[in-house]
Amino acid sequence: MARIDLNHIRHAYGPNPKSDKDYALREVHHSWEDGGAYALLGPSGCGKTTLLNIISGLIHPSHGQLLFNGQDVTNLSTQERNIAQVFQFPVIYDTMTVYDNLAFPLRNRGVAESEIDVKVRETLEMIDLASWSGKKARGLTADQKQKISLGRGLVRSDVNAILFDEPLTVIDPHMKWVLRSQLKQLHQRFGYTMVYVTHDQTEALTFAQKVVVMYDGEIVQIGTPEELFERPKHTFVGYFIGSPGMNVMPVKLAGGTAQIGGHQIQLPTPVTPADAKKIELGIRPEYIRIGRSGMPVKIAKVEDIGRHKIVRTRLENQDIAVIVGEGEDIPADPHITFDPKGINIYADSWRVGGN
């Protein structure tokens, strides 16, 4: 297990990158703790797989240094880095049995056959495929195959880190949940350093202790699921996490209040941003109350999703989503109020204040 330091890592796929636009990974400078479970969350093309492949050594970064436990591994090969990685689509060796598939990474490293046997049987138990060990791997279902891919990572107990690249994409929803909790258990039992790439927020939030949100080649926020939900550092985090995402609206700041059109909103703490081009207020639908007093809105649509209702309202020219409990009713003449606890202020998309 290792602590991973990403030292000013930048990466461009094309030669001679000039501007920031040429970089798939603009700049990443962070430390990931030994034994931590991290999720890399972000939309397609934000650079999360690039970052993962840089850690595993499949890609050599254009700039920067990668350290495992303080040792520079930037120029080491994947084998030398001793990393396990599980890919989006199951990779199995068709012609081998399930047992041999798991033994493969150990045999390649010249581990003694007796030790291999112990490790493989242990791993087979873990991934619940013990009764399949003698079967050829090609006949298995997609999730069994993916379990084998996982198993090949877990069988090497001395790895520096285990990396997952959207490993549950091909798994059906029920198995997803089971595998995810198995991974979490494994993490608690063995303390692997785990990095998990996904674009699914539920997956990220349930798996990880720390979620790393990436956007446009940059890490925009690293935090616990709660921090990401309550205090998104960037409006993108607000949009991306939560369902529906955060309401973000342009405002004017004046002293301790924010102005939306003709309405004044009292801020919990006064904010005086440096000259920013764009000031926005962000508030999650969970923190908006609907009632008879406050700012008058029009209701565009009500989506009843069972546990609660999502009310799509319009405040002047601004779309605002509100979450209303199943039992609550919506008055004929609706008004909304913002709970001060949920208010965040953004200057040029970055959080500058709020509660």
Partner 1 sequence: MEKTWNNKAWFMVLPVLLLVAFSAVIPLMTVVNYSVQDTFGNNQFFWAGTEWFTEMLTSERFHSALGRNLFFSFIILLIEIPLGIVIALNMPRKGWGVPVCLVLMALPLLIPWNVVGTIWQVFGRVDIGLLGHTLERLGINYNYVQNPMHAWFTVIIMDVWHWTSLVVLLCYAGLVSIPDAFYQAAKIDGASRWAVFRYIQLPKMNRVLLIAVLLRFMDSFMIYTEPFVVTGGGPGNSTTFLSIDLVKMAVGQFDLGPAAAMSLIYFLIILLMSWVFYTVMTNYDAER
Nearest CA to 346 among 264, 246, 262, 266?
Answer: 246
In the range 142-181, which residues lie near partner 1 by CB under 8 A? Answer: 149, 152
In the range 48-67, which residues lie near partner 1 by CB under 8 A? Answer: 53, 56-58
In the range 116-145, which residues lie near partner 1 by CB under 8 A? Answer: 138-139
Measured distance CA(155)–CA(101) in Å, rounded: 10
Taking a C-beta distance cutoff of 8 angstroms, is the pair 69, 2 a contact?
yes
CB of 282 to partner 1, least distance (A): 38
DSSP 335: E
Q: Is residue 85 involved in binding partner 1 (CB under 8 A)?
A: yes
Using CB under 8 A, pick the residue from 24, 73, 83, 213 that binds partner 1. Answer: 83
Q: Which is nearer to partner 1, 95 or 269 (CB)?
A: 95
Measured distance CA(102)–CA(108) in Å, rounded: 11
Measured distance CA(294)–CA(103) in Å, rounded: 66
Using CB under 8 A, pick the residue from 17, 35, 76, 87 that binds partner 1. Answer: 87
Structure tokens at 40: 């890399």
- H-helix or E-strand containing 288? strand 288-291
CB of 30 to partner 1, least distance (A): 23
CB of 111 to partner 1, least distance (A): 11
Pick the stretch among 8-16, 71-79, 194-202, 338-346 that binds partner 1 (CB under 8 A): 71-79
- Cα end-to-end distance, the chain, whole Å: 38
Nearest CA to 338 among 271, 252, 235, 260?
Answer: 260
Q: Which is nearer to partner 1, 160 or 235 (CB)?
A: 160
Q: Is residue 89 involved in binding partner 1 (CB under 8 A)?
A: yes
Q: Which is nearer to partner 1, 162 or 322 (CB)?
A: 162
DSSP β-ladder status, 298-304 and 210-215: unpaired
Using CB under 8 A, pick the residue from 13, 93, 141, 328 that binds partner 1. Answer: 93
Taking a C-beta distance cutoff of 8 angstroms, is the pair 167, 87 a contact?
yes
Number of residues counted as binding partner 1 (CB under 8 A): 26
Give the max Cα distance, the chain.
Answer: 77
Q: Is residue 109 involved in binding partner 1 (CB under 8 A)?
A: yes
Using CB under 8 A, pick the residue from 69, 71, 78, 269 that binds partner 1. Answer: 78
CB of 35 to partner 1, least distance (A): 20
- CA distances to 159, 269, 314, 348, 350 from 266, rounded to whole Å, are 53, 9, 20, 21, 20
Binding site for partner 1 (CB under 8 A): 53, 56-58, 77-79, 83-85, 87-89, 91, 93-96, 104-105, 108-109, 138-139, 149, 152
